[in-house]
Amino acid sequence: MDKPSLKTALPGPKAKAIIERDGKVVSPSYTRGYPFVMARGTGAIVEDVDGNQFLDCAAGIAVNSTGHSHPDVVAAIVDQAQKFLHMSGTDFYYEPQVRLGEEFDAIKPFAGPSRSFFSNSGTEAIEAAIKLARYSTKRYGMIAFLGSFHGRTLGALSLTSSKAIQRKGFGPMQAGVFHTPYGNCYRCPVGLKPESCQAECLDFLEHQILVHLISPDEVAGVVVEPIQGEGGYVVPEPKFHQRLRDITKTHGILLIADEVQSGMGRTGKMFGIEHFGVEPDMIAVAKGVASGMPLGVTTARADVMTWPPGSHASTFGGNPVSAAAALATITLIKDSLMKNAAEVGAFMMERLKELQQKHQIIGDVRGRGLMIGIELVRDRVTKERATTERDKLVNECFARGLLVLGAGKNALRISPPLVLTKAQASTAVEILDQALAATNL
Ligand SMILES: Cc1ncc(COP(=O)(O)O)c(C=O)c1O
């Protein structure tokens, strides 16, 4: 199926009733942009509780990498669930966790032997990375980027600087964390052009933070998203990552790539950092790794992950059912989905660039593979952010049967399941076109 099929007004009666119940008992901290109530899904099509079918270009925030309930993943889950559900891989052994460690050793984006720590989410994968960086270097400082998102537990939250609301009321944050501008070329923080710059956006890190605020020999790690996700699907120039690698190498600082959103084939390569010709010392992975089952992975150079028994662990981390789902997911990504993400992503990007010619509000279209951002601006010269317009557009897409999410203040993110077909990609672009026209954006 390539096109959405809407049968009721949105939300339909069953969706309305569930949302009303949710409003009474579920945490009000969740951000729901529109009233979609899931009943079931296959591939890139999802159905709500009233029988309306939508084309899913959100994938549960870039999670359902293999599509909804891929038969191979479901079979792996059922098979493992029938054997055993849990045995705590921190205190006992089981093969799915070992096989997953072997898989990550084979696919990691850096040379040499590695070891993996398993948790349940992106924030925990980052938390482990922070602790490991501190443990291994015996330094305390961490560097992160403005606009970044690394999670919401207190260590990871201290690195997160996407939206102030995410930090408001929870301070003080972890000490020793410093933020520096990201390589956002559409809005260059130092006013230069990507064609001629030397990644001067990193001058602030090298010549201010590491000179005036913290001595480089006290910095344990730099955590960077290869492509900034929640911050607006921002793609830096390769020289940004290359210069960052040089700075970190010079000072013995660990480079940690947060691949939670950009990893696992989404960008057309297994890991986002592979687009930039740089090898990190450590990666943090979650979201798409197990097609929707909870799993976090922190994979580091073996000579970095040397912490002793008892120093870090998680009861549920590396759960056998999640590990089985991850192994099936990785097979599918390697066999076909990474290639599909590259091909369909390139096709979609071209169509979206055509849309940019037609709609003045589209200031920038960027991305790699099926991690595509569309930045909306009120004026292409001043680049004034079209914030309310973005929210309106997301809702107009929903009303036409397309699920998309915002990213940053004024960008729209396209992060579909990696099984998306070209026909479905065309449908998504057509709906976007209609939604932009209908709202006079
Ligand atoms: C780059 C990145 N890191 C970390 C996280 C946190 O992941 P989780 O929500 O699974 O804790 C996210 C979530 O959006 C993310 O995009």
Residue nearest to atom 7 of ligand 1 (CA): 122
Ligand 1, atom nearest to 123 Cα? 11
Residue 130 Cα to ligand 1 middle (Å):
14
| 172 and 229 within one domain | yes
| 418 and 269 within one domain | no
Of 313, 305, 298, 304, which is closest to residue 126 (Cα–Cα)? 298
Point out which residues pair with 374 in neighbouring strands.
Answer: 365, 412
Sheet with strand 45-48: strands edge to edge: 38-42, 45-48, 53-56, 402-403
| 88 and 148 within one domain | yes
Is the minimum distance from the CB of 121 to ligand 1 under 6 angstroms? Answer: yes
| 100 and 230 within one domain | yes
* β-pair type (282-285, 405-407): unpaired
Residue 206 lies in a domain: yes
Is the minimum distance from the CB of 286 to ligand 1 under 6 angstroms? Answer: yes
Is the minimum distance from the CB of 122 to ligand 1 under 6 angstroms? Answer: yes
Residue that the structure tokens 């990190």 belong to: 280
Residue 375's H or E segment, with its range, is: strand 371-376
Residue 6 lies in a domain: no
Residue 395 Cα to ligand 1 middle (Å):
24
Ligand 1, atom nearest to 287 Cα? 10
Is the minimum distance from the CB of 123 to ligand 1 under 6 angstroms? Answer: yes
Of the residues 301, 333, 365, the one at which a domain ends: 333
Residue 266 Cα to ligand 1 middle (Å):
14
Query: Which residue stretches of the chain have pLDDT < 70?
Result: 441
| 201 and 282 within one domain | yes
Pocket test for ligand 1, best of 160, 224, 282, 287 (most atoms within 8 A of CB): 287
Is the minimum distance from the CB of 225 to ligand 1 under 6 angstroms? Answer: yes
| 324 and 205 within one domain | yes
| 235 and 378 within one domain | no
| 393 and 314 within one domain | no
* H helical segments located in 151-230: 154-159, 203
Contact 415, 58 (CB under 8 A): yes
Computed over its alpha carbons, how large is the radius of gyration of the chain? Answer: 21
Interatomic CA distance for residues 99 and 104, integer angstroms: 9
| 192 and 81 within one domain | yes
Of the residues 315, 333, 351, the one at which a domain ends: 333
Residue type (1 letter), 253: I
Is the minimum distance from the CB of 259 to ligand 1 under 6 angstroms? Answer: no
| 22 and 97 within one domain | no
Q: What does DSSP assign to residue 212?
A: I
The predicted structure's pLDDT at residue 441? 61
Residue nearest to atom 8 of ligand 1 (CA): 122
Is the minimum distance from the CB of 43 to ligand 1 under 6 angstroms? Answer: no
Residue 18 Cα to ligand 1 middle (Å):
27
Residue 122 Cα to ligand 1 middle (Å):
5
| 362 and 408 within one domain | yes
Residue 4 lies in a domain: no
Range of the domain at 125: 71-333
Point out which residues pair with 376 in neighbouring strands.
Answer: 362
Pocket test for ligand 1, best of 127, 130, 260 (most atoms within 8 A of CB): 260
Is the minimum distance from the CB of 127 to ligand 1 under 6 angstroms? Answer: no
Residue 8 lies in a domain: no
Residue 293 lies in a domain: yes
What CATH number should be reported for the domain holding residue 416?
3.90.1150.10
Ligand 1, atom nearest to 225 Cα? 1
Q: What does DSSP assign to residue 275?
A: G
Of 180, 266, 172, which is closest to residue 224 (Cα–Cα)? 180
What CATH number should be reported for the domain holding residue 174?
3.40.640.10
Of the residues 333, 348, 370, the one at which a domain ends: 333
Residue 50 Cα to ligand 1 middle (Å):
30
Residue 259 Cα to ligand 1 middle (Å):
9
Q: How many domains does the chain contain in total?
A: 2
The predicted structure's pLDDT at residue 2? 83
Interatomic CA distance for residues 404 and 392, integer angstroms: 12
The predicted structure's pLDDT at residue 6? 98
Residue 105 lies in a domain: yes
Interatomic CA distance for residues 63 and 288, integer angstroms: 4
Interatomic CA distance for residues 232 and 230, integer angstroms: 5
| 386 and 271 within one domain | no
- Using one digit for the tens of pLDDT, what is the confidence trace for 290-331? 999 999 999 999 999 999 999 999 999 999 999 999 999 999
Sheet with strand 405-407: strands edge to edge: 362-368, 371-376, 411-414, 405-407
Q: Which two tokens stand for residue 250?
A: 């010079």
Interatomic CA distance for residues 183 and 78, integer angstroms: 44
Pocket test for ligand 1, best of 30, 61, 121, 123 (most atoms within 8 A of CB): 123
Is the minimum distance from the CB of 48 to ligand 1 under 6 angstroms? Answer: no
Residue 261 Cα to ligand 1 middle (Å):
7
Residue 151 Cα to ligand 1 middle (Å):
5
